[in-house]
Chain A
């Protein structure tokens, strides 16, 4: 939507300029306080340099790092056709023009986020907890919200802003360290001239003030922008799905099931609800330093849209609920008025089944198809050689366990128990026949010797060194 992107861009320029000004002023004042006029110039240069270097780092490999840190797996179409279809529907509805990658995080806390500063790297990630809890309409609302973030180019924008905020915090940190350990630098020059000394003191006080106020102001700016972007993405979601209730009830479910995820502060604004907030029973609220608006407020706005689903209806609901404007009326002149559609009658059960299937398939479960049309998934550690169909009762033979292990290993690079197959921990148990009831020594294949006491009665143990299983056959009569 042009008008909305344009409104966004105006706000983005304001925010970035504000942050840049704070950055430059901090560099200037801190540099000046410690090194005179030349120091001021150097301070500005250093501040810019830190920013550029960090920005480069954030754009170069931020996504990969994030994906691996969250243990996200990329999904193929066959893994989760439903989720793929929902994303495709929203890509069509929004006119995004490209298909983002889809990632699954095996995590109980329901949440979702969008990442990627470029179309090729952008991805939408959902947790399995989200898929399990939401029905189709709700999932659609959440995906539309994330597609809205991609449409509004929020990821790129918030990355730039987060890096600026980070640089400002680093600068103030540098200043504090210098004040604490480097006080001597100024005293030498100031001893000659009391006027200059006074000036130095004033500059130092100014630097301290800027050091305190800079990060404070920058945080306020940054989080205000972050919260606004959430509302914007909500508005987009309502518009794409034509069904604000879907997102509203999804948000309620998500906030009810909220559990904190370990994610960095910089990407927290990309999540649908704040991933760093811990679950509490009392009504969550937002303040100047929240990355997300309070979920109750968002739900209230969505439900106040009164039969409309367009940006204009959202703007009106926003104004009614929160007594201020979001887009500004000018940008909405061309926005088409749209009406809410009917919800789908699909229950959460399909979603839950598919979520489970997706997670299990990604965890290396073997899909077994019965002739009656039933699909069962067998865990990789399942030791039986056949499985009984839970519907028609017929027995389906499975490939030998060793073969399943091998296949699993080839596909996932780890053995079903989570460690390489040549690890002694996964070898066949070592057989040891107990001679009598006294002290005995078991020689493990790794060369380790294990003492068994007279009181040892357990049927098996693990070698403490190589973790190989050892089957202890007690003599008859014991």
Chain B
């Protein structure tokens, strides 16, 4: 009789521990997915920036066609950034894109007609918003990485994390200084 009760208690404890572990595991998975999602979000916004640039160049061309040199530089920088392989090359390409975009917007100051064009204004708004979205998605990503890294390190959740080797590994932060290719352009009009 006594043995039976003891067995039941042990079994009950085992179930409780298992349920607890499942809860921890699920919350870790949720955090991990959020980290991945944050990363994907950054890429989406970078791609959006690539898509916006040709339209911008087209619009500017209508008003400032003799500024061909600047326009071509922007397109070139964009194509290079898109086809860049490896983080180092990408960083250089994105930096160049940032700079050429800056010069393009500086150029628009000299053309009041361009600055009053609704199409240009809409593109300007889209680019400002995309820069913001890039920095907000980076911010979200970094917050989640911080939470995820803390979550898999603290006791007792680290026991659960270590139980699945390779599944929960520490993530890297997205530092703007380290990864200059993700740096948002400071758009000034």
Contact = CB atoms under 8 A, between A and B. Distances in A.
A374 B38 CA distance: 39
Interface in A335-355: 336, 338, 341, 344-346, 350
Contacts of A94: 140
Contact of A81 (B27, B34, B113, B126): B126
The interface residues of chain B, by DSSP majority, are classed as helix
A92 B136 contact: yes
Interface stretch (B13-21, B92-100, B101-109, B116-124): B116-124
A88 B122 CA distance: 16
B125 A93 contact: no
Interface stretch (B72-80, B83-91, B144-152): B144-152
A334 B27 CA distance: 14
25 contacts: A85-B126, A85-B128, A88-B133, A89-B129, A89-B136, A92-B133, A93-B136, A93-B137, A93-B139, A94-B140, A95-B34, A95-B38, A240-B136, A242-B139, A334-B150, A334-B151, A336-B142, A336-B147, A341-B135, A344-B128, A350-B125, A372-B116, A373-B114, A373-B119, A374-B116
A291 to B, nearest CB: 30
Contacts of B120: 373
B188 interface: yes
Contacts of A240: 136
Interface residues of B, number: 32
Interface of A: 2, 81-82, 85-86, 88-90, 92-95, 240, 242, 334, 336, 338, 341, 344-346, 350, 369, 372-375, 391
Contacts of B117: 373
Contacts of A334: 147, 150-151
Contacts of A90: 136
Contacts of A338: 139, 143
A378 B115 CA distance: 22
A93 B42 CA distance: 11
Contacts of A344: 128
Contacts of B140: 92-95
B70 interface: no
Contacts of B133: 85, 88-89, 92
Interface of B: 27, 34, 37-38, 41, 113-114, 116-120, 122, 125-126, 128-129, 132-133, 135-137, 139-140, 142-144, 146-147, 150-151, 188
A82 B122 CA distance: 9
Contacts of B114: 373
Contact of A88 (B38, B129, B188): B129
A88 B41 CA distance: 12
9 closest residue pairs by CB, A with B: A373-B117, A85-B129, A93-B136, A336-B146, A375-B118, A92-B136, A89-B132, A92-B137, A89-B136
A90 B129 CA distance: 11
Nearest to B34: A95
B150 A372 contact: no
Given A88-B133, A89-B129, A372-B113, A81 B122 contact: yes
Nearest to B112: A391
A90 B150 CA distance: 25
Nearest to A240: B136
Contacts of B129: 81-82, 85-86, 88-89
A375 B118 CA distance: 7
A346 B140 CA distance: 23
Contacts of A372: 113, 116
Nearest to A310: B143
A74 to B, nearest CB: 20
Given A85-B129, A85-B133, 16 more contacts: A2-B147, A81-B129, A82-B129, A88-B133, A89-B133, A90-B136, A92-B136, A92-B137, A93-B140, A95-B144, A240-B136, A334-B151, A336-B142, A373-B114, A373-B116, A374-B118
Contacts of B151: 334
A226 to B, nearest CB: 27
A92 B150 CA distance: 22
B118 A81 contact: no
Among B27, B34, B133, B143, chain A packs the most CB atoms within 10 A around the CB of B143
A82 B125 contact: yes
Among B128, B139, B150, B188, chain A packs the most CB atoms within 10 A around the CB of B139
A241 to B, nearest CB: 9
B116 A391 contact: yes
